[in-house]
Structure 1
């Protein structure tokens, strides 16, 4: 085995040179180093073959061939695994060590190329060819500049390494041969074996020096960058040490002055707050772990800021702080009645909760969902409930949320992480049993960031929310004492799993009488106060208030009604500001001077019955509305034309109505050839509004049979129900909302499916007093009500062209 002690490598320069060498020499492979001419170095030899080669060389004249093996890991390299160009060396001294190894001092003499390998026993002899040594007699300006550049760069590298001494500098300055300078520098450059071998094989000394200069320049750049990095690291370490020393001095000074240690005070303050928070054992244990980490951490590090924020959140959460409920049921009812008119079902549910709570203080909080059209007071009702039971109130809006982290927070590993909105709301109220309102649950979304509605499943389940887990907190928090109230305009968009966890309470729209009472008791006093008026300065007459409700608003709630009242109050405030004296009375006659001409008119003429015109009922997001259906016959071949932006389901209802009419032509004494010469056109006005659903089926069939039989339909009768091909009337949904819409439209008789009679219980008595509800099973009953007792009507232009009456 041939190894080198690189710390003992020495390059020498001699004037003497042997001119003749034996042509056959023992071969000794070396690894980890390429030996150049004029190098003097010790070699530790352990491989048996190499020891035998050294013994043969010493026994003769001391010469042997030194070549580098290509793969440094091989123990017994073959001839093709050795470089063919190497250096003839002379053994100056040999020492056998006790462990069997041999230490020799070898001097490189000249370059040679192996021509042939001759194996002798276990080692090789080689036939070599001495490579010529080119001597540069005269140095050109270029070569001199090149040598100077190599010497300067060599001095720089030695300076970076801390190895530049006066003796080494003198040796560099004394060399005036480019070949020897190249060999000397290359032997000390720490090059790769392949690069060192490439330099060895270059015969021309000038070219060899140029190659060494290239590698030397690269090494200078690397060494310079390394020195710069080490300097920066050293400066940073020195700065940190200096800062630490100064900080410790400041602490010592503060202790001497009796000011105390700010950091110690901070840690102690956190410890006291953790104890004061009275959090569960698991949370307290985690808080203490984080506090210990903070105590051992550098106060200016980024991680310490993250831990401080986390501790602040844990301490501020209301783990055990509760507000005391007002369990006086009568007082709670008074508070609810003072803030909202009607809504008896909702109020009864809250009073029931208080009653049970009074008997069972450990009951879990309910999960209520108020569903109804806009403007009926769902959000304000939540605030009233909080006042009635003496709890804190917090509201968050879920409309448009698409990120699950909004509900359950972010992991602490993210920059700017924070808890979700639920725990933010709990921190905001400071109690663990607030009234927590989540608005617009039906408008929540989902995308690649997760499904927020799925994240709400745990929070809105009374069996699970006692151990609600937030990603940021990574601890369980008890939400079982919270009263969750959710609001929605529609039930359909709410996921079924979430809907199953909630108690649905429907809030229908208001009648004209209810709107009048709400305006008198709540809206007018509030707008008078907000616009700087006094009650004696403005007066709304009952007629004017009724006209505002009927002619200037058309809604289920009272939001637009309050806007119109606010507009009147603003104009009154301007008159007073301009110097006019009151009081100002708002009458039906002068209402247009405040609000302009009426904004809403009936869609159709309801004063008289007409042929081919029936009144249906529709349920919309804003409440119930009347839906007019027109039908007429025109010349054609029996095709059905449907217009009015009608959806697929409603179109199918129209086809079913037509099929029923065509199948019963004989029953209604109509010529069976009628449809051979006429097309049927069914139109639903308000064509810009999309309409769909099966509940207009009997209204379409009534309009169609009216035009076929040339009998007018009563204008005060509205109908809703799905029709089958055999004329059966099937149940529908939203009867209460449709009834309120019919009342607003002046309908006096409402025809509805018999299977919907159970829904009559939800309809207020004052609505039943003004509208006659007639349940029906079959289309014949509908026609008897629609055509019965109609007075003589004016001829409909459309129907006059429809052909002969039946």
Structure 2
């Protein structure tokens, strides 16, 4: 008998997914190299070995921590080597044993074990437990097809409680963890009590299975096997109160739909789709599509909104904190707030902030959201050419998603955010549709309360959204779309405004980001002016911020390497930090020129000055235009040329100059495309100067379209052009009479430094722009 041995050292055989009770005989297929070696060692050691179950079946080479401590001391009854190298072995469990020592010899595992002695006697309490258990197993065997009558007969003849308990445990369908629990109960009474608990649960489950089977059978007589199994699963979950699996998922989805506060038509659609999803097999291709669709309906905001902050004074303070100047935009936002406060209802206006890069259009939209206490969402339209980006994809497509508008609303989590449509002038269209046309419905307050997204298939209300768009050039925006927006022009900043912005916003930000303090980096006013004038040339302040960042980096280096406590940025130090000046401040000519006039132009980056040069030499009347001019600009040159021919006598120009003089009109910076009609009077002035020999005044700039009769027509972008003239050092600008209404838009600081001459005809232009001829002096 093995009872006489208390401690032993035997080969160790780790088991995966199985467990052997004492008294049980089981066949095992052994394939792992160490396990096969353990069998060989056991054969040389009286056929004894220790069987311990692995905690994780996936572990190929288990260590001591991977094995349960309590296992079975067993004996090999028979072993056979199969053709594939696996050893099929029959083992008999003898006793419970505890693993006290683990030895990995490289090719074989060896265990030190302690055997638990078997008492074999049954007292009165143990006898009662055994009778109870025998009665329950008798009833269980009648209910279950898995219990054998041979086992029941053996149990009736078994008097030893240890053998009785292990025999029942071996013949119950239990989880591996439950079997291990029974194996670890050394006290036989505790083991018998746990078996009564497990057997009671098994009987209850068998009763429920029978009840469920009867219920399902009545309703499923003519159905397929798959449907039968699915209904059986639902019935099981209902009986057990199991909210996991699809039943629980459906209940959870329905609960979310109820609490999403959807409009009635959307709610009905969601319930209908949920019903379809419930009936659909989990492995069906459309199942995931339906689930994704329901998630979108649930997660979209339908009624949730933030409360507007209608304190106009507080909103004004916030706007002033974030941005300097931009009075028109701020005024428009405050007007909206005032009206909203008085009426308590107003459809969101569609504002379009138009202006060159770097003037703060996007950050201003963010500040508007903050002043209104609304969520902010930004959507970039630059390069968008697919209509589905706006309206979404049909759900029939693989990977279908809602449009970016609906995605933005989901991110906002409210129905009244400030929604920024950035770079609306840079959309394109191709065979995939026209996104600009799709935006027509979005940006129409009369229509966007029923916005249709192809993915949602249900109307979504966008009327509470405050849409703001930005553009560099409104000329590229389609007319119908432009008509839906209120254009607010942000032309650029004056030098005075740039200084204020740099001093109050940009410099403190860059000083903080570079780990400095205000006291460590004082910047003189003249240094700031030099950076603005000689190191930047822009309408906005983006490049100015880069130069200030560069200044902070240089100062940080000085503080660290030279151990300086303070770096004062002076006008002289600016050149040491940023290098030689990149731009010449004041682009006006140094002296009066013949055949060279200064025009004022408007570009996507703001206003600029444009020098137009004309050369007249003897020839055959050839007219040459260079400088990468657009068609409109070439036509302006032709119109000016024709006007001069028609008025050659009044202008003291030879009437046959067009037959004997070659004329070359050139606009410098030939690599940059140029177009537009407003250079008409500038070309005409330069032509007349070249043909008459009269000099053009260097301090004069001009803009205006010319007709064949010499009339000067109005132009756009006067504010930007006036600011560029001021920046270039011009003192007089000539503008069309019809643009008089736009003079008030020019900042007072610029207007006070310029002499503005209004003209209706080219003759008036010539009187101001040209010096008197030498003959008349």
TM-score (structure 1 length as normaliser): 0.66
Distance in 2 (CA, whole Å) between partners of 1:549 and 1:465 is: 44
Partner of 1:695: 678
Shift of 1:362: 2.4
Distance in 2 (CA, whole Å) between partners of 1:242 and 1:782 is: 92
Partner of 1:446: 429
The question of 1:613 aligning with 2:596 is answered yes
SS at match of 1:692: coil
Residue number among 527, 532, 536 corresponding to 1:549 in the alignment: 532
The 5-angstrom pairing of residues 668-707 of structure 1 reads 668-672=651-655, 676-707=659-690
The question of 1:752 aligning with 2:721 is answered no
The question of 1:651 aligning with 2:641 is answered no
Deviations 1:587-640 (A, max 9, x none): 221212221111223696622212222111111111111111112221213322
Partner of 1:435: 418
The question of 1:330 aligning with 2:313 is answered yes
Partner of 1:711: 694
Residue number among 581, 587, 605 corresponding to 1:598 in the alignment: 581
The question of 1:540 aligning with 2:491 is answered no
Partner of 2:618: 635
Deviations 1:652-691 (A, max 9, x none): 2222222333333332334445555432222211111111
Task: Select the structure of larger CA radius of gyration.
Answer: 1
Across the aligned residues of Structure 1 and Structure 2, the Cα RMSD in angstroms comes to 2.4
Shift of 1:481: 0.3
Deviations 1:99-126 (A, max 9, x none): xxxxxxxxxxxxxxxxxxxxxxxxxxxx
Kept in 2, the 8 Å contact 1:616–1:720? The answer is yes
Residue number among 487, 498, 513 corresponding to 1:515 in the alignment: 498
Compared CA separation, residues 247 and 284, structure 1 to 2 (3 A) = closer
Distance in 1 (CA, whole Å) between partners of 2:437 and 2:341 is: 33
Compared CA separation, residues 675 and 309, structure 1 to 2 (3 A) = closer
SS at match of 1:313: helix
Distance in 2 (CA, whole Å) between partners of 1:327 and 1:373 is: 31
Kept in 2, the 8 Å contact 1:255–1:261? The answer is no
Shift of 1:564: 0.9
SS at match of 2:476: coil
Kept in 2, the 8 Å contact 1:708–1:805? The answer is no
Q: Which runs of 5+ in 1 are unaligned?
A: 1-239, 793-803
Kept in 1, the 8 Å contact 2:472–2:604? The answer is yes
Kept in 2, the 8 Å contact 1:538–1:582? The answer is no
Residue number among 338, 342, 346 corresponding to 1:355 in the alignment: 338
Deviations 1:438-492 (A, max 9, x none): 1111111111111111111111111111111111111111110000011111112
> How many residues are aligned here?
554
Distance in 2 (CA, whole Å) between partners of 1:524 and 1:244 is: 74
Residue number among 432, 435, 440 corresponding to 1:457 in the alignment: 440
Kept in 1, the 8 Å contact 2:588–2:699? The answer is no
Deviations 1:131-189 (A, max 9, x none): xxxxxxxxxxxxxxxxxxxxxxxxxxxxxxxxxxxxxxxxxxxxxxxxxxxxxxxxxxx
The question of 1:499 aligning with 2:485 is answered no
The question of 1:252 aligning with 2:223 is answered no
SS at match of 1:411: coil
Distance in 2 (CA, whole Å) between partners of 1:649 and 1:294 is: 61
Partner of 1:164: none
Distance in 2 (CA, whole Å) between partners of 1:678 and 1:242 is: 96
SS at match of 1:585: coil
Shift of 1:704: 1.9
Partner of 1:782: 765
Distance in 2 (CA, whole Å) between partners of 1:709 and 1:242 is: 100
Residue number among 461, 473, 476 corresponding to 2:459 in the alignment: 476
Distance in 1 (CA, whole Å) between partners of 2:553 and 2:228 is: 67
Compared CA separation, residues 491 and 605, structure 1 to 2 (3 A) = closer
Shift of 1:752: 0.5
Distance in 1 (CA, whole Å) between partners of 2:449 and 2:566 is: 58
SS at match of 2:519: helix
Compared CA separation, residues 412 and 676, structure 1 to 2 (3 A) = closer
Shift of 1:288: 0.9
Distance in 2 (CA, whole Å) between partners of 1:451 and 1:671 is: 55
Partner of 2:119: none
Kept in 1, the 8 Å contact 2:385–2:435? The answer is yes
Compared CA separation, residues 294 and 737, structure 1 to 2 (3 A) = same
Partner of 1:211: none
The question of 1:342 aligning with 2:307 is answered no
Kept in 2, the 8 Å contact 1:432–1:479? The answer is yes
SS at match of 2:384: coil
Residue number among 380, 383, 402 corresponding to 1:397 in the alignment: 380
Compared CA separation, residues 449 and 726, structure 1 to 2 (3 A) = closer
Partner of 1:228: none
TM-score (structure 2 length as normaliser): 0.68
The 5-angstrom pairing of residues 399-438 of structure 1 reads 399-438=382-421
Compared CA separation, residues 661 and 331, structure 1 to 2 (3 A) = same
The question of 1:528 aligning with 2:547 is answered no
Kept in 2, the 8 Å contact 1:395–1:438? The answer is yes
Distance in 2 (CA, whole Å) between partners of 1:499 and 1:314 is: 32
Kept in 1, the 8 Å contact 2:301–2:409? The answer is yes
